[in-house]
Structure 1
Amino acid sequence: MLSYRPGETFAHRLDPRSKLCFQAGFAVAAFADTTLSWLAGVYALAALALLAGRLDPRRVARAYWVVFLVLALGPVIAGIAIGPPWFRVEPALTSLRAVARIPPVLAVSAVYVYTTPVRATRGAVERLVPGRAGQLLGVGTGLVVRFFPLVVSDLRRIRTAMVARGGADRPVTDRARRLAVQGIDRALARSDRLAVALRARCFAWNPTLPALTFGRMDYPVAGLGVVLALSPLVRTGFWSGFPVIVYRVATIAGQHLH
């Protein structure tokens, strides 16, 4: 699982609010069109995001390999036909163009997780969403981000213990049942310990949030997020300037990376 790693990269220096704005706009733009030229621009922008955070794409692939495996099966299943010719290319290509929009979105999300502390994310969420709703959303975001990797780690240890004790020879249904039961049991135990720890540390709904300020580079990044979010409305005209936008972002990011 990917988690936050301190660093001094371009993405690390950005305010979490500008990164959230860019991430949301990028997700909208990624699903705006399925043409090859549009997908090429989306993948180029995702590559720039990985470069800005100095995140190895292989780490993203290892973190989301299950998702990528499921996505890869989609076009194969879509192309299978009952009867001659047994496999149809056109439905498979249509499915491939549809699922091809998801990997760059995951890559940009991975950069955000890798370059943003959980506390800063909570602060950004609570500032963007006012009132109790923002506090509840911020607390939930922080707990999920911290708790989910521990649950995944527990499941891996359970699976490793099962294999070490000869569990690989058991039926798949039996292994799945044992993994689910043990995983839920450990998750509940962890949640109980977490509740005790929160009470012991005087957990508050309104803690002092980290200071967040927009820097000089946060404005163009947030602006690019807004432009990407609006791209489905004007994608024909927008695409003519999309390569220029990508080039400008790459130039600015390159200057700050060096």
Structure 2
Amino acid sequence: MLTYEPGDSLGHRLDARSKLLLQAAFAAAAFGHTDPIGLAVLTGVTAVLIALASTTPGVVLAEYRGILPFLAAAPAIESLRLGAPWIDPAAAVDPALAAYRTLLLLALVAAYVRTTPVRESEAAVARLVPGKPGRLLGLGVGLVFRFLPVLQADLARTREAMAARLGDQRPLRDRVRLVATAGLNRVLSRTDRLAVALRARCLSWDPTPPEATFGRDDVLALALAASLVGWALWPTVTAASW
């Protein structure tokens, strides 16, 4: 399950703001270099970053196993044609590159979530976005990070209970209906309890944020982010100079 895991890796020691800026720079580079060579370079960068965050490719694939079929289906669907030759392999190249780029971005997201406490993410968003919009975004990030793993656990328990009662032998339509109905009921129930809990704890609109300081490691992360942004803008600058 994609949640924070305590540790002492370089990814854990970085300030949350550095990690958010690094992800934004990586996304800019990924959308600026969509060719195979650019994605190969970004693959190496991703491998290094997730290794520094004590995250393995196997963990990433396991976390996103529900999304992988959709990423794989997009190129296959794009290559289909309604007439001869029925299948156009060249049409699947761009969707395949886009799907792979999405997977790289998701890998960095997994590394971020596993190395960053929810409270630090809230404070980082509130610091990066000034004023009330930042506090609202920080609160929303905190609720999502805290609520989503709980809902994933509820769905997993529902599937286990259904399998224990031989529900996995039902038709696929019935299984989807049962899991979806149980999941929706869980969401509504937990939402009501969450609202009561927030009122009981006198949810603060402007809480005291955790201490955050930039260290030596953050300087390296910001330098890498600046390099990625420069690489992303390089084709535009080169074209403008000509």
Instruction: Provide TM-score, normalisation by structure 2.
Output: 0.91
- Partner-residue secondary structure (3-state), 1:66: coil
Alignment correspondent of 1:245: none
Deviation for aligned residue 1:220: 2.9
Letter in structure 1 aligned against 2:213: T
Report which stretch shifted further, 126-135 or 72-81.
72-81
Match of 2:231 in 1: 231
3-state SS of paired residue (1:231):
helix
Where in structure 1 are there 5+ consecutive unaligned residues?
Answer: 239-258
The corresponding residue for 2:160 is 160
Please report how far the alpha carbon of residue 196 of structure 1 lies from its aligned counterpart in structure 2 after TM superposition: 2.1
Paired AA for residue 98 in structure 2: A
- Once the two structures are superposed, what CA deviation does each residue of 1:170-193 show, in whole Å capped at 9, x if it has no partner? 333333222222111111111222
CA distance in 2: counterparts of 1:161 and 1:135, whole angstroms: 39
Quote the Cα distance in structure 1 between the aligned partners of 2:132 and 2:236.
41
Partner of 1:56: 56
Corresponding position of 2:38: 38
Q: Tell me whether 3-12 or 176-185 shows the greater mean CA deviation.
A: 176-185
Q: Is 1:123 aligned with 2:108?
A: no
Moved more, 175-184 or 47-56: 175-184
Mean Cα deviation higher: 19-28 or 175-184: 175-184
- Alpha-carbon distance, 1:156 to partner: 1.5
Retained in 2: the 8 A contact 1:21–1:226? Answer: no
Q: Alignment RMSD, CA only?
A: 1.9
Gaps of at least 5 residues in structure 2 are: none
- CA apart distance, 1:24: 0.7
Q: How far did 1:28 drift? A: 1.4
Q: How many residues align?
A: 238
Counterpart secondary structure, 2:220? helix
SS in 2 for 1:207: coil
Where does structure 1 differ by over 6 angstroms across 4 or more consecutive aligned residues? Answer: none
RCO higher in structure (CA 8 A, sep ≥6): 1
Q: Distance between the aligned counterparts of 1:82 and 1:130, measured in 2?
A: 51
CA distance in 2, matches of 1:84, 1:136: 53
Name whichever of 31-40 and 86-95 sits farther off.
86-95
What is the rounded CA distance, in whole Å, between the counterparts of 1:195 and 1:127 in structure 2? 25
